[in-house]
Each structure stands twice: as C-alpha cells, then as structure tokens.
Amino acid sequence: MSFVDRTVDCIAPAGTPALPVIAVRPEGLEAALAGMEPGQAAFLKAQGFKAAAQELVLLAGAGGVAGAILGLGADRSPNAFGGLAMRLPEKLTWMLRPGDYDSTEALLGYCLGAYRFTTLVEGKRGPAKLVATEGAGDAVARAEAAWMVRDLINMPANLLGPSELAGAAAALGRKFGAEVVVAAGEELSRNYPMIAAVGAGSERAAHVVVLRWRGSAATADAPLISLCGKGVCFDSGGYDLKPAAGMLRMKKDMGGAATVLGLARMIMQADLPVRLAVRVGCVENSVSGHAMRPLDVIRTRKGLQVEIGNTDAEGRLVLCDLLDEACADNPALLIDCATLTGAARVALGPELPALFCNDDGWADAVLQSSRVSHDPMWRLPLWSGYDTWLNSPVADLNNVSTRPFAGAIVAALFLQRFVTANVPWSHIDLYAWNDQAMPGRPEGGEAQAMRALFGAIVAKFSSSHVD
C-alpha cells in the first residue's frame, strides 16, 4: 500500500446538501433550544439533554432524521468532535452549524475520529461525511499526516520491516520533491555503525533514509530544521529478551520514525520557508548468532565506544549515529522522536510524551504550542547529576545505567553525548499508541507531539529567510 497517498475520506465538497449538527455548550443550551422547533426542543428536554461532552442526540423531522445536536461540555479540544464521524448515520451527509467553538479545530477532530485502519480488512462501517468548512485545507492536511502516522504504526511487523519503512520514507520525500538518499549494506556499516550493530541480528537488513528539502520561498541560508526518528520495526529485546507480554505492542517501536515523517509531511505541505533534513533509522532488533551481545563494545559514528549493558536499550543506539550526523550540518533546530523508555510511561503515563530540551526558550515554545494545539507534552530535566551513571570501565560509556532509577532521564543523557552543545535540541520520548478508543483517538497507533512541534516550528520559522 502507499502510506503517503491515502486521503481523508470523511469530507464532502462545499455546497453538498447536508443535515445540520448543532454543537452546544451547557451555558448556551437554553438559547439553542429557544431557536429550535418546539417539538425538537421538547424532545431534548424530555430526554434530559444537558450538552455534556460527547452527548449526541438525533433530531427527528418530517423526512425522518432532520439533524443532530452534540454536547461539547467544557471540552475546547478537537476531540470534542472526535466521536461524531462513527456515531452519525453513515449514509447521510452532515454540516456543522457555527457555534462556540473553533471550526478548523472541530473539523480536525472530526477527521481524527473518522480514522480506521482498513489496509488489511474493511471496517464494519465507514465514517459519515461532513461538508468542508472554512479552514478545511489546514485541518485536512493535519489529519492526513496523522492518518499516515497511524497507518505506519498499525501495520504488522511482518508487513512493515526496515525496507518497507525506508520505502515509505523515500516515497514521502519524492512526493514533495525532496532529495532522497538510502543507505544499506556496507555503506550503512561504514556511516552508521551503531544502527548496523542493532540490525545485525535480523535477516531483514537495516536502512537509513535521509531526506533533504527546501521550501519554495527559502533562501540557501534559510534555517535548517533537522529531524531524527527511531524506526525499530520490531523489538524483541535482543539477547536481553523481552517477556511475551512485553513484545505484544513492539510493532509500534517505530513510532518515533512515523511521527518524524508526519511532522516532515506537515512542514513540506505547508511549504515553510526553511530547509529540512530528515533521518530515519529503519531496523529490527532480533536474536541470532549475528546479534549484538551484552557487554559487547561498539564504536559509534562519533568515535565514542559504547559498552552494551542491555541489548533492549537499542533505540538510543539507533539515534546516536543519526544525531551525530545531523549536528555536522549545524541545524537551527534538532528534534528526535522515539518510543524510547518504559520509564517515561511510568512517570507520565501513555498520554503525555516526555520532552527533554537543552534550550529553555525552545522548550517553552513547544509547551505553549502543545497547550494551544491540545497535543499535550511534559518537560523532564536533563539532570547532569546522573550523567556519571553511564560510566563504563571498558568503554567511553555504557548504553544503560546499573541503577534502577530515572530511566528516561538517563536515556536522554546518553543521547545528549552525541549532540553538539550549541545546537538547540529536543528529544521526545513518546508512547505512540492509544490503549483504548477515545473520541478522536481510535485504539492503536497515534501521532503524539506532532501537532505541538509543528505549531512551535511555524511560530518560530514561518517568516524566516524568504526571498
């Protein structure tokens, strides 16, 4: 399948005849009822409709269904509209009446809730169609990026290995006219030795994809944004084998790479006046006679030698070579995304990606964008006091600490060893998955932190270095 060409299929063209959806908050309910047909208002009152979040009632009319009313409660996020697409009657077309909400965010939420993973089997039903409103282009672009990320994460690992993920990254680059370079085999071993070491245990060869793109209005010295993504298509843990329960969701261990590709898509589709470099390490962490072993010592691209304290801490090994190469270009901003540690989930749970950042101004901008975009994140510290926990008696550093504390911080400190000090850098440790279905967030793969990062990038770079 083509991951990059799937379009949002829940939007009807402007002007299509449609039934109204009235979206109302509790404080606006009385006025809304006063403006409705008396019979419909009486029907809602008799049912005890309170305009609570996700409360949905179909309204009857002479021709059958005459419309619907949706309660918003106090929810100002796109997810307030995230349950509509799969709850409204599928065969009818709908339109949102103006109300106390942002129409673009409402459309985004509707589209996010309309997602289904239908690559392998058709769903029981499709989404109801919603007529496009003002701002539809921006909302649909953001939704299509999220759909692409979700499709990539949801694809089973036997169907999305390193070569397939690399192919999806390359296809995305070609779609937007980027320069595409793919490294494998001897070239991979020479230029990305840590990624080669992680992938050595698998029969499916590791790949690194590098995309380079420049906005149509960007000058040759426009700010360079560099993105790096962990693309471990399946993580067995290697010789430090995960228990069976720990492997059940490991097809999502490429969620960082998928998120980076989604963010790159948004940047390129918006044609921001920047230069963009994207690096994705596509690999599988398996067990075989060729796999790296505990206590092996491996030299990185940077030249630092790393003792392998745990083969299941492979994500930081994938990223370290990518970060080192990215820093050689002296980017204005460096971002990496990875499903890196269970410790981040213990600290923050599945819905809050952890943000680590060496630049307070950029961290504040990202967190502000996360609040505005309703794409939550939480900052954790790059606490230098734990840096010595990575010391090794036989190498420059270990890939893990022997202490059972602060696992997410220690992983971020490992990555920081490969980032040039003057490069503004943020590391996002995310879950990339919804354990259960919620409005706007179907169970399965999820594009976490992507909208927050994009919003911060737009705010910082949207008018920079144009001709």
Residue 138, classified by CB atoms within 10 Å of its CB into exposed (0-12), middle (13-18) or buried (19+), is middle
Torsion of CA 353, 356, 359, 362, to 10 degrees: -10
Task: Please tell me which residue in 316, 441, 451, 460 is annotated as part of the active site.
Answer: 316
Residue with tokens 């840096």, as numbered in its chain: 387
Which amino acid does the sequence have at 188? L
What token pair was written down for 105?
Answer: 């965010």
Alpha helices (H) in 176-314, listed in sequence order: 185-191, 193-199, 244-247, 255-269
Query: Are 118 and 9 spatial neighbours (Cβ–Cβ below 8 Å)?
Result: no
Residue 242 annotated in active site: yes
What token pair was written down for 10?
Answer: 């829940």
Residue 45 annotated in active site: no
Alpha helices (H) in 22-76, listed in sequence order: 29-34, 38-47
Which amino acid does the sequence have at 77? S
* CA separation for the pair 306, 382 (Å, rounded): 20
DSSP letter for each residue of 160-174: S-HHHHHHHHHHHHH
- CA-based max dimension of the chain: 81
Task: Please tell me which residue in 6, 175, 242, 299 is annotated as part of the active site.
Answer: 242
DSSP letter for each residue of 380-436: ----GGGGGGG--SSSSEESS-SSSS-HHHHHHHHHHTTS-TTS-EEEEE---EESS
Q: 68: number of CA atoms within 13 Å, CB side? A: 24
What token pair was written down for 360?
Answer: 């307070």
Please identify every residue annotated as catalytic.
Answer: 242, 316
